[in-house]
Amino acid sequence: MFDVTMGSYDGAEVCEIVGLYLLEKLSTLIDKKKIGLYRDDGLSVIDNANGPKLDRLRKDIIRIFKSEGLNITIETNLFVTNFFDVTLDLSTNKFYPYRKPNDKPIYINANSNHPPSVLKSLPSMINKRVSDLSSDIKEFERAKGLYQEALKTSGFESNLNYIPQNEKNKKRNRRRKIIWFNPPYNAHVKNNIGKEFLKIVSKNFPKNHRLSKIFNRNTIKLSYGCTQNVENIIKQHNAKLLNEVDNQQARLCNCHNKETCPLDGKCLSTCIIYKAEVKTPTDTSVYYGASEGEFKFRYNNHTKSFRLRRYENDSELSKLIWKLKDDSTPYSLKWSISANAIPYKCGSRSCDLCTTEKVTILRAEPKGLLNKRTELMSKCRHKNKFIINSVK
């Protein structure tokens, strides 16, 4: 038994699987075509059922959910119901947009630092959404005032007009395998990053190039991403400072002889980017690595690869050490902490630990650097423990 928390790496997928399983069990009571489920909300239409019959059905559904260790709340005898952002009325066969009381829509400001394509398409997206949620123009006109006012408050001057169902674009789009380049957008950057990027693609993959069928302007598209807002930046900064305080209060070393500690009394440090500096009489080499757990565990793995020949290829550092041993070259090895970082958390969009490691390698002096450039393209390995197939 294990729990899948809200916002976890596979939370939505698990919810869909559980929902499909429950729908299959409910199909013994209700016609499959007349019941639907989205995450933890369900809706069903029952024909020609009186009060006692509906009450028995409600109890049967609760019994099925309880047999799976779940609880459910059911409302019956409804002719009008609110399901997400739409109100459904069986008595009039109409539907229209719904919002909770005192829930006013808020949109990004027209002068905000968002990509122009986002600002340009926002009114049309709102217009289409409200039209889709309205059964006819009369319901649209009743509901559009709230959304029109929200757009006006955000600096948009466009008017909302009803789009009938039969006038919507039904053109079938040809689907290609597209490679997307998503640079962050900032209005203060004067250079046209997208234009320069596509120039590089055309220059390096001309029509006579053997890879031009894969990398060309039809298969590589550009879509700007939004940069983080100030609120998120402040939250990340505060979280980083708080984590540093927690790390400082923890025990930092358990070596019997503090003078032989590989990290100057901080061998139990966690979530760090460490630096190994190898000095020989003629040269100096540097290796960077990341350690989510205690550094001492990572250090012991390194020393094992230095002692046993079968682990020679474990890292670029061990390859260098064995080369120096084979050449009988004297060397000294010094360990230090290059940076502190926050490890990947379930539901996060990125891993600060992996990103910091890659940035440290990028900023390092190329001469004597043991890390390979291919490490910059490696995937985060800290996410693996949050994937469902890793649960035993």
State CA 217 to chain mean position distance: 27
pTM: 0.60
Which pLDDT belongs to residue 245?
Answer: 46
Q: Return the structure tokens found at 69.
A: 């260790």
Q: Which of 298, 326, 328 is nearest to 314 (CA)?
A: 298
> Rounded to whole angstroms, how far apart are CA atoms 370 and 351?
23
Residue with token string 């004067």: 190
Which pLDDT belongs to residue 316?
Answer: 93
> Rounded to whole angstroms, how far apart are CA atoms 327 and 329?
5
| Cα Rg of the chain (Å, integer) | 30
Q: Return the structure tokens found at 283.
A: 């040269």
Amino acid letter at 87?
T
Q: Which of 340, 352, 343 is nearest to 386 (CA)?
A: 343
DSSP state of 375: G
300 three-class SS: helix
> Rounded to whole angstroms, how far apart are CA atoms 275 and 286?
7
> Rounded to whole angstroms, how far apart are CA atoms 279 and 142?
77
> Rounded to whole angstroms, how far apart are CA atoms 32 and 23?
8
> Rounded to whole angstroms, how far apart are CA atoms 183 and 28?
51
Decide: 305 and 311 in contact? Cβ < 8 Å: yes
Which pLDDT belongs to residue 133?
Answer: 94
Q: What is the DSSP string of 69-105?
A: T-------S-SEEEETTEEEETTTTEEEE---TT---
Decide: 288 and 274 in contact? Cβ < 8 Å: yes
Decide: 107 and 124 in contact? Cβ < 8 Å: no
> Rounded to whole angstroms, how far apart are CA atoms 138 and 195?
45
Q: What is the DSSP string of 241-292?
A: HHHHHHHHHS-----SSGGG-TTSS-TT--SEEEEEEEE-SS-EEEEEEEES
Residue 326 CB neighbour total at 10 angstroms: 8
187 three-class SS: coil
Residue 265, by phi and psi: left (phi above 0), alpha (psi -120 to 50) or beta? Answer: left
> Rounded to whole angstroms, how far apart are CA atoms 329 and 323?
9
Q: Can you say whether the dihedral through the CA atoms of 347, 349, 351, 352 is positive or negative?
A: negative
Which pLDDT belongs to residue 12?
Answer: 82
Q: Which of 222, 375, 221, 385 is nearest to 293 (CA)?
A: 385
Amino acid letter at 302?
H
- Per-block mean pLDDT, blocks of 10 residues, the chain (392 long): 69 86 91 87 88 90 92 90 92 93 91 90 94 94 94 93 75 78 88 91 92 90 85 82 57 84 90 94 94 92 94 93 94 94 82 92 92 87 78 60
